[in-house]
Amino acid sequence: MLLDISCLPKNKILCIDMKSFYASCECVDHGLDPLEDYVVVVSDKNRSGSVVLAASPKMKQDYGIKTGSRLYEVPRRRHIHIFNARMKQYLEVSMKITKLFSTFVPFEAILTYSVDESWITLDGTEKLHGSPMEAAQKIRSAIWNQFGLPSCIGIGPNRFISKVVLDVYAKKQGVAECTYEEVPKKLWPVPLREIWGIGSRMEKHLNNMGMYTLGDVANSSLDRLRKRFGVIGEQLYYHAWGVDLSPPFIDARAFSQKSIGKGITLLRDYWRENEILTVVLELCEEVAKRAREIRKVGRTVSFSVRYSHNEGGFHQSITIDTATSSRCKAERSMLKGNIAGTVRLEQPRWYGLHRYLLHVLCCILMHNFEFLL
Q: Is the pLDDT of residue 344 over 60?
A: no
Of 59-68, 176-185, 232-241, 290-299, the least confident: 290-299
Among 3.40.1170.60, 3.30.465.10, 3.40.50.620, 3.60.20.10, what is the CATH number of 19-86?
3.40.1170.60
Considering 26, 73, 108, 117, which one is annotated as catalytic? 117
Whole-number percent of the chain with pLDDT over 70: 82
List of residues 6+ apart from 5 with CB closer than 8 A: 180, 181, 242
Q: What is the pLDDT of residues 142-175, one digit of tens each?
A: 999 999 999 999 999 999 999 999 999 999 999 9
Per-residue model confidence (pLDDT) at position 232? 94
Name the amino acid, one letter, at 235.
Q
Mean pLDDT of 246-273: 75
110-114 vs 151-156, strand pairing mode: unpaired
SS3 201: helix
Other Cβ atoms closer than 10 A to 126: 13
Cβ–Cβ under 8 Å, residues 70 and 49? yes
Q: Is the pLDDT of residue 56 over 90?
A: yes
Chain mean position to CA 107: 22
Of 101-115, 221-235, 250-264, 344-358, the least confident: 344-358
| Superfamily of structural domain 10-17+90-240 | Reverse transcriptase/Diguanylate cyclase domain (3.30.70.270)
For the chain, the average pLDDT equals 84
Mean pLDDT of 186-201: 95
Report how far residue 33's alpha carbon sits from residue 48's, in angstroms, rounded to the nearest whole number.
26
Q: Is the pLDDT of residue 131 over 60?
A: yes
Quick check: is 73 catalytic? no
Confidence tier at 318 by pLDDT (50, 70, 90): confident
Q: Is the pLDDT of residue 369 over 50?
A: no
Per-residue model confidence (pLDDT) at position 373? 31
151-156 vs 175-177, strand pairing mode: parallel
Per-residue model confidence (pLDDT) at position 345? 38
SS3 361: strand
Name the amino acid, one letter, at 188.
W
Contacts 24+ apart (CB under 8 A), 164-167: 164/190, 164/195, 164/196, 165/15, 166/15, 166/16, 166/17, 167/194, 167/196
Q: What is the pLDDT of residues 107-117, one digit of tens each?
A: 999 999 999 99
Higher local confidence (pLDDT), 280 or 256: 280
Confidence tier at 23 by pLDDT (50, 70, 90): very high
Domain residue extents for the chain: 10-17+90-240, 19-86, 256-372
Q: What is the pLDDT of residues 94-109, one digit of tens each?
A: 999 999 999 999 999 9
Report CA dihedral (120, 126, 128, 130) to the nearest 10 degrees. 100
Cβ–Cβ under 8 Å, residues 339 and 303? yes
Contacts 24+ apart (CB under 8 A), 77-81: 77/38, 79/37, 79/38, 80/38, 80/39, 80/40, 81/26, 81/30, 81/32, 81/37, 81/38, 81/39, 81/40
Report how far residue 247's alpha carbon sits from residue 257's, in angstroms, rounded to the nearest whole number.
19
Just give the CATH number of 256-372.
3.30.1490.100
